Amino acid sequence: MAEGNELQIPRVKLGNQGLEVSKLGFGCMSLTGAYNSPLSEEDGISVIKHAFSKGITFFDTSDAYGPHTNEILLGKALKQLPREKIQIATKFGVQRTGFSNMQVNGSPEYVRSCCDASLKRLDVQYIDLYYQHRVDTKVPIEETVGELKKLVEEGKVKYIGLSEASPDTIRRAHAVHPITAVQMEWSLWSRDIEEEIIPLCRELGIGIVPYSPLGRGFFAGKGVVENLAANSTLAMHPRFQGENLDKNKAIYSRIESLAKKHQCTPAQLALAWVFKHGEDVAPIPGTTKIKNLDNNIGSLKVKLTEEDLKEISDAVPIEESLIPMVVEWDVIKGLQRINFTEEEVSITIVKTSRERILEECSLSLFGKFLTTIPFNRRAARDTMRMAWRMGSDLKILEVRDDILQFIFPIEFQMQWILNNEPWSFENHLLRWERGLRT
């Protein structure tokens, strides 16, 4: 099913405001370096042009990618393509205030300045779909979307989207101006949005744009699972380290077996699983390789039944898809504080009392899995010993049955912040973005 005649990529409508895109989009982030080294300008443009030649018209970027260089690259590619046939999605809201300092900004003034800057970098007259990249809790969403509404009225933006927003924020934003699409991580590896976000989007008539639909490349093939490239920042990702990697290899094996049954690759099956969830879904997998792009396009030939969908979903239960990213899912609401001083980072986590009670969390610093930290006094000494063996100056300040506090030197700060997307850094406070949606 992975091979065959030239495929016509279907069109889908995102939301009910009129935006129509290719059913398979293309995430441009990796072209200028994300989990990998950046491509040359010539090679990056070639990938974009190849995607368009195959029927992909929906291209996703952000002013934060690079920063800025990703939009510039896409803009140069657009000069060689028919603009009227392409849907550009870009984002604003993640503001870099220094080499290692990033903050979220949703103020009306910043929204407008970002839009004008993106239009200039892309060298276009309008943006088809403009997302707030991350929600700014200091600014009422009504004010942010109010300014976006003005940009729509002025013709600078056609449609409005949100990325990584909570149900309450989505509903409030939609009341100010119709939200056309919500972009969230959704894959066999990350399924928490199925509980509230997806039903809400369908209630309000909002399209769904899954990013990382291949689990940050995990389902792309054994090369990623078993042998990450030396320059890949995925090696820093807790899902690719220690016991987590072993668990995820078992998940991959299940999907690989099911892919053989459907005569396709694991990546194609993972994408087909996303497609099967509805005609209001347009995933945006990215790649730097044309062969992987063609493989992704081949996923549209994989036809699944409802029974197939259930079988695949059962192979990766939601609870298994929550294997930790940076901090275990169940401690996100217990994450009290991560403070920076000039010399150290202090982290305090309180165990929550949710249904699945957490007994430990995983810590990854400076490109390597450091240790698993138990909420258990008896294990504190072993934890510190392991940290010492790993060459870290991690110090446990307090470990009780319900609280954990530890510090580590500031030299770990830079790489950790820059290479772990779900965190934001503002006023010496490192904050989890993805789980604690606002």
Q: Are strands 344-350 and 403-409 parallel, antiparallel or unpaired?
A: antiparallel
Give the bridge partners for 292, in sequence order.
none
Residue whose tokens read 């934003």 = 173
Please tell me the distance from the alpha carbon of residue 160 to that of residue 325, in angstroms, as a whole number.
29
Residue 245: which region, alpha, beta or left (left: phi > 0; alpha: psi -120 to 50)? alpha
Catalytic residue among 35, 65, 131, 211: 65
Closest alpha carbon to 152 in 176, 171, 172: 176
9, 20 Cβ separation under 8 angstroms: no
Residue partners of 135: CB distance under 8 A and separation at least 6: 93, 104, 106, 141, 162, 164, 165, 166, 169, 437, 438
Query: Residues 145, 146, 149, 151: what is their CA dihedral angle, to the nearest 10 degrees?
Result: -100
CA distances from 289 to 31, 226, 260, 296, 312 (A): 9, 19, 23, 11, 27
93, 134 Cβ separation under 8 angstroms: yes
Q: Which tokens in the block code for residue 411?
A: 């030299």
360, 370 Cβ separation under 8 angstroms: no
Identify whether 159 is a catalytic site residue: no
Catalytic residue numbers read: 65
